Structure 1
Amino acid sequence: MLFESSSFLKGMMLGSIFCALVTMLGHIRIGHENVTHHEHHHLQALSKEDFLKISEAERMELVKSIRVYCMILVKPKDVGRWAAVKDTWTKHCDKVEFFCTESIKVFESINLETNDMWTMMRKAYKYAYDKYKDEYNWFFLTRPTTFAVIENLKFFLLNRDATQPFYIGHTIKSGELEYVDVEGGIVLSIESVKRLNSLLSDPEKCPEQGGMIWKISEDKQLAVCLKYSGVFAENAEDSEGKDVFNTKSVGFLIKEAMSNNPQQVVEGCCSDMAVTFNDLTPNQMHVMMYGVYRLRAYGHTFNDALVFLPPNGSDND
């Protein structure tokens, strides 16, 4: 009798696992139903020649139309990086807000009351859409290990229509799923955030705890949810095909270039219009700030055809 009971329990367990696998595979198929006709895109920034074809008046209108809201996901242990990010590149966002797992007295932040990164991301996007859908048209989300050059981001977005479903950054392919790596930062247009927001309350298409047996990272979860609404990951590149969203630090990329191609270290390393670098310490953040915004060669004048003005009240460099 005991043996029969044990066999029955084993059968129940195996049956449950089988059903869960079938359910998971069903979710994957559904999530990719509309993918077969979609080709992955490598989005490139305007070339110098194409940019100069735009009239000065049109350039000014384009500049004014790009409004970037920056979202930084942080945890209490990130206080050092948090301070560095707050004091450096985020001053160039049109608006920046920090989203934390809990309330922290040291820094002003939005308490999301969860340690789960996917739940944090969901809540942050919902908050952003509900509060700022009429004020900002581009939403840039990243971690406090990332340094971003917002002016380069705005230049990349110059000829993009935020009313279209853009989902941009450094893309990675994982099986059939293509997603934007959060380490390099994720950019969503207002249309993409709108579509995502409509799915957040649908546990079948965008479950809060995930629809898989095993847990997947928050950036992959985001890609799965976005695919249900016809939004697909796009790799951002300059006009020469170099990535502009980097998931490594400048130092790492330079060492890699020196090892792989010592004759072309700079050319083999990074794009001149790089938007992000990742895995930076607080000190490296300040060094980047010095190199990008403060260092000047007197007597040499840069005649940029575009000027991205800092947000009102900003004490940016």
Structure 2
Amino acid sequence: MYRNLLCLVLGLIVGIQLTEFWNYVTYTTVEYESTAVVANAETSLSEWLHRETRVLCLVLTMPAMHKLKAAHVKASWGARCNKLIFLSSEDDPELGAVNLNVTESREHLYAKVRAGLAYAYEHYIEDYDWFLKADDDTYVIMENLRMFLYPYDPEAPVYFGYRLRTTYPQGYMSGGAGYVLSRDALRRLNLIGLNNTKYCPLNTLAEDRQLGYCLLNLGVVAGDSRDELGRERFLPLNPRHLMPRIQSGTWLDKYYYFKPNASIHIQQKHF
């Protein structure tokens, strides 16, 4: 009798252990499959947006920075552009840089950007939907940028970036934060603006402000790129300046178009 009781107890213990082991295996398999499904969905969305929202990235650089900065852009976020071109004063086939024949200096930055946007129009206007201008020290999360741009029509005259206040009504987009032009904005700029010094004066003033003035005269709207909570998507300052009470009193305090909401600043999403 004792032998039968012992066998019964041992059988129950083994059965319980096997049941727990089976549940663990089943749960692990389901969890793995669920994670794989989510990962595949995210990959599929990213790939789909890559096809549906085509972005040509134009990155300002100079020969001295080809290896120091531009190469790192190419190896990181630049690889996720539909096409990446570096705007320089020296050809570099390995990097993908083109010589715009513009002197490298802050005074000639506006002329360099004009030349770069003219190059993009001449060679690629029908191949891409949006044209992003960035610097070689900018970082862009391309998947977020495409998700933001997807609802907008590239044939609408609009451009997006971090909006700054100035003497004309709609302001302009910060060059340091990067800005993105629709196909129609780039078309207007090249067919009308760059051939008319009344609309787009030639000077050595700040590149971003001058381009903003030019686009305003061409009927290109300065779009609002903030999210539903008023958080900025394009950021002109180092990330440490986004931490409340850590950094304050920057030049941006005098020029922002939309007043930052300090209560949500720490939650910033950005490109």
- The CA distance in 2 between the partners of 1:96 and 1:257, in whole Å, is 37
Change (3 A) 1:61 1:218: same
Partner of residue 120, structure 1: 112
Q: Which whole-Å CA distance do the structure 1 matches of 2:207 and 2:47 have between them?
A: 37
Question: 1:227, CA displacement in angstroms?
Answer: 1.4
Q: Counterpart of 1:148 in structure 2: which amino acid?
A: V
Give 2:181's match in structure 1, choosing from 153, 177, 188: 188
Q: CA deviation at 1:74?
A: 0.8
Q: Are 1:268 and 2:265 counterparts?
A: yes
Gaps of 5+ in 1: 1-58, 276-317
Higher relative contact order (CA 8 A, sep 6+): 1
Contact 2:241–2:247, Cα closer than 8 Å, also in 1: no
Alignment of 1:1-317 (within 5 A): 64-79=51-66, 80-104=68-92, 107-115=95-103, 116-176=108-168, 178-198=171-191, 199-207=193-201, 209-210=202-203, 215-254=204-243, 256=244, 258=246, 267-272=264-269, 274-275=270-271
Deviation per CA, 1:55-113, whole angstroms, max 9, x where unpaired? xxxx9977632100000011223231112111111011011000102345873311011
1:238–1:271: 8 Å Cα contact kept in structure 2?
Answer: no
Q: 2:178 and 2:137 mapped to 1: Cα distance?
A: 10
Q: Distance in 2 between matches of 1:68 and 1:109?
A: 17
Distance 1:149 1:257, change over 3 A: farther
Whole-angstrom CA distance in 1 between matches of 2:180 and 2:267: 20
For 1:259 and 1:225, locate their aligned partners in 2 and report how far apart those are by CA, in whole Å: 33
Could you tell me how far 1:258 is from its partner in structure 2? Answer: 4.6
CA distance in 2, matches of 1:243, 1:268: 9
Residues 257 and 268, structure 1, Cα contact 8 Å, conserved in 2: no
Distance 1:60 1:99 in 2: 27
Deviations 1:183-214 (A, max 9, x none): 0111100010000011211223223x33xxxx
On the 8 A contact 1:63/1:158 being kept in 2, the answer is no
TM (norm. structure 2) is 0.69
Render the CA deviation track for 1:263-302: whole Å, top value 9, x for unaligned: xx99532423x11xxxxxxxxxxxxxxxxxxxxxxxxxxx
Cα separation, 1, equivalents of 2:128 and 2:188 = 15
Match of 2:60, SS state, is: strand
Amino acid at match of 1:83: A
- 1:240-273: CA deviation from partner (whole Å, max 9, x where unpaired): 110010011223323x45568xxxx99532423x
Counterpart CA distance in 1 for 2:216 and 2:55 is: 23
- DSSP 3-state at the match of 2:225: strand
Whether the aligned pair in 1 keeps the contact of 2:74 and 2:95 (CA below 8 Å) is no
Taking the aligned partners of 2:60 and 2:117, their CA distance within structure 1 comes to 11
Q: What secondary structure, in the 3-state scheme, does the structure 2 residue paired with 1:184 have? A: coil
Question: If you compute each CA radius of gyration, which structure gives the higher value, 1 or 2?
Answer: 2
Look up the equivalent residue of 1:201 and give its one-letter code: N
Q: Distance in 1 between matches of 2:90 and 2:82?
A: 25
Identical residues among aligned pairs (%) = 28
